[in-house]
């Protein structure tokens, strides 16, 4: 998605980079290396100072996040932000529990479960936004963010962004957050952008027709067999698109009837379609 910043506030590259670091997802493996001490039944995190600085995080912040997420006691080799190594032991919720560790050591299974949880733990950022890069618009000279991944509803809560110019190509997110009309316009925009990229000229009314069909039921539907083509009333029209045997078998089991009112089904059975001259039953009988 493309995140535009407010134009009335001149945002510098450093400020945009800080916003990018706050938006993109930061997991434990992004700022530390994990070591599993099987003998001592503990998990050791060695913090990477360079990565912490890039993510605009501190060691104490990481320690607090881990304690909140795991509800375990996190040991640090040094106080405050000077810590470079954090240790977690399964089942140890406070410093007092360390005294009972020798009598009741954690199991190997608990250690593996803790490692799996810590490895995928989100410490910072907006869900689904994997990367956020700072870009410079040559025309306006302003900085904006280009992301891998999208979360329109959460990004729109940020005060420093321009909601009217922030855009995502995730049509389902647009539908859920802004409604079906916005999703319809997004479909047209994406179709036009794809055709422009291939240097193809197609009248916009064709695109509007496709977008109307996809959104006519009040929700976004695909064109394929899981959407528009798969919900046609005619059995033969559905079978002519994909998975022919499945449609015919299902219709035969439930005793479904085809009224042969459309174009495809009439062509299949070899009779005139109910359009144009085929829509009326009028015969000229000359007088003898």
Residue that the structure tokens 């919720």 belong to = 93
- CA separation (Å) from 188 to 33, 230, 237? 45, 22, 26
Residue 265's CB is within 10 A of a number of other CB atoms, namely 22
Q: Which residues pair with 147 in a beta bridge?
A: 132
Same domain, 70 and 30: yes
Regarding whether 68 and 188 lie in a shared domain, the answer is no
Of the candidates 80, 74, 84, the one whose C-alpha atom is nearest the C-alpha of residue 52 is: 84
Least confident of 101-115, 127-141, 169-183: 101-115
pLDDT digits (tens, 9 = 90+) for 41-94: 888 999 999 988 888 888 898 999 998 988 888 888 888 788 889 988 888 888
Asked whether the whole model's pTM tops 0.85, one would answer no
Instruction: Tell whether 105 is covered by a domain.
Output: yes
Is the domain of 47 the same as that of 112? yes
Mean pLDDT estimate for the chain? 88
C-alpha span between 68 and 84 (Å, rounded) = 19
Residue 280, domain member (yes or no): no
CATH assignment of the domain containing 52 = 3.30.1360.140
Task: Tell me if 256 sits within 8 A of 235, measured CB to CB.
Answer: yes
**Same domain (yes/no): 92, 205:** no
Cα–Cα distance for residue pair 14/7, rounded to 1 Å? 16
Do both 66 and 89 map to the same domain? yes
Per the structure, how many domains does the chain have? Answer: 3
Residue 77 sits in which domain range? Answer: 26-124
Residues 109 and 135 in one domain: no
202 with 148, same domain?
A: no
- Asked if 58 and 198 sit in the same domain, the reply is no
User: pLDDT, tens digit, for every residue of 130-178?
Assistant: 999 999 888 888 899 999 999 999 999 998 889 989 999 999 999 999 9
In this structure, the answer to whether residues 101 and 17 fall within a common structural domain is no
Would you say residue 261 lies in a domain?
A: no
Residues 49 and 134 in one domain: no
Residue 36 placed within a domain? yes
pLDDT reading at 223 higher than 80:
yes
Is there a single domain that holds both residue 115 and residue 52?
yes
Residue 281 lies in a domain: no
């Amino acid at each position: 998605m493309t995140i535009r910043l407010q134009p009335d506030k001149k945002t510098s590259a450093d400020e945009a980079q800080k916003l990018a670091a706050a938006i993109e997802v930061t997991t434990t493996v992004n700022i530390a290396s994990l070591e599993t001490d099987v003998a001592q039944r503990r998990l050791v995190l060695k913090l990477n100072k360079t990565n912490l600085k890039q993510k605009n995080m501190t060691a104490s912040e990481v320690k607090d996040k881990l304690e909140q997420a795991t509800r375990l006691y996190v040991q640090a080799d040094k106080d405050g932000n000077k810590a470079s190594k954090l240790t977690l032991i399964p089942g140890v919720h406070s410093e007092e529990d360390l005294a009972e560790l020798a009598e009741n050591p954690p199991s190997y299974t608990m250690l593996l479960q803790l490692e799996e949880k810590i490895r995928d733990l989100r410490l910072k950022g907006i869900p689904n936004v994997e990367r956020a890069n700072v870009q410079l618009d040559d025309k306006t000279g302003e900085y904006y963010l280009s992301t891998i991944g999208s979360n329109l509803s959460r990004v729109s809560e940020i005060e420093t962004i321009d909601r009217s110019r922030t855009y995502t190509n995730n049509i389902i997110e647009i539908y859920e957050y802004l409604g079906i009309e916005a999703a319809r316009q997004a479909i047209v925009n994406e179709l036009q952008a794809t055709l422009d990229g291939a240097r193809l000229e197609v009248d916009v009314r064709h695109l509007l027709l496709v977008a109307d069909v996809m959104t006519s039921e009040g929700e976004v539907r695909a064109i394929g067999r899981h959407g528009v083509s798969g919900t046609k009333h005619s059995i033969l029209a559905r079978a002519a698109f994909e998975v022919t045997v499945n449609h015919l078998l299902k219709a035969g089991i439930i005793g479904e009837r085809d009224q042969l009112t459309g174009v495809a089904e009439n062509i299949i059975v070899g009779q005139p379609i109910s359009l144009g001259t085929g829509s009326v039953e009028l015969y000229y009988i000359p007088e003898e």
